[in-house]
A = this chain, B = another copy of it.
């Protein structure tokens, strides 16, 4: 896209302050939200807060994860975030059901979370949000392209719940960048959603249904913080481990969250397995099929371990680190 010369030799990010926030990541830090100056507002720069308190610094951070998350899905999808990583994602023809499914993944983590939808929030979905709050505790924000009048009326009882409308979920920045002291690192966005080619590397072959489950889990994995492991069944996550130091830790967290629901589930890993120990953890939990990029020095050992345990493994050739 950018040719051999890579990124531009000078990059300028110019922000126009939209408002101060109450404080930064912590109460002793001042903070503010800036929109990219000289552009038509887009993304969170075009967000409308329909209800609730002003957005906080940490709300913006989690809303960005939610926005990047729901963007990945074409089917109606609910995406719940806590501390910048998803803790429950589900797709379902009925949006309210997608939310209930997503919430059941890890209700403990969803407490105080941020929820995103890639469809208008309708009355039933609003009810599902209220029911979820009654059962598991409050939410900080709900982001969606729009909210129906009935949904807004229902959700008005939760005065502190912020309803955030971002009409165009798919507007993108040109580059991603992250501050480091004395400069920043910039990169192209990670726009590869579906793996171009899936290669089955094990004796066991995934069934067509498992293949769809694997693709769903892979999509969630892409927007989960590294090291990321996602357990899924159908089009709902049942356990997610994200932001972990070691892949086997992420796997153990995901397995623990999944519990009995890991029986017959599939697993996605955002990067290769450095050791076959991850397959042992997955197998002990009940996982029957795995999707991962491949490319480890120990790929052959990992494949042999799968073959010994009757697990089907699909390799994408694409990695999705996200820090």
Contact = CB atoms under 8 A, between A and B. Distances in A.
Interface stretch (A53-61, A213-221, A284-292, A304-312): A53-61
A255 interface: no
Contacts of A318: 26, 28
A322 B177 contact: no
B187 A29 contact: yes
Interface in A30-77: 30-37, 39, 41-46, 57-58, 60-61, 63-64, 67-68
Nearest to A13: B13
16 contacts: A5-B20, A7-B20, A25-B187, A28-B190, A28-B192, A30-B187, A31-B185, A34-B183, A58-B321, A61-B178, A61-B180, A67-B181, A83-B243, A109-B245, A111-B246, A244-B244
A264 interface: no
Contacts of A190: 24-26, 28-29
A34 to B, nearest CB: 5
B8 A321 contact: no
Interface string A129-170: 000000000000000000000000000000000000000000
Task: Please give the count of copies of this chain that the complex contains.
Answer: 2
Nearest to A84: B323
Interface of A: 1-2, 5-18, 20-21, 24-37, 39, 41-46, 57-58, 60-61, 63-64, 67-68, 82-85, 87, 106, 108-109, 111-112, 171-173, 176-190, 192, 225-227, 240, 242-246, 248-249, 253, 274, 318-323
Nearest to A31: B187
B178 A43 contact: no
Contact of A15 (B68, B109, B183, B320): B183
A227 B83 contact: yes
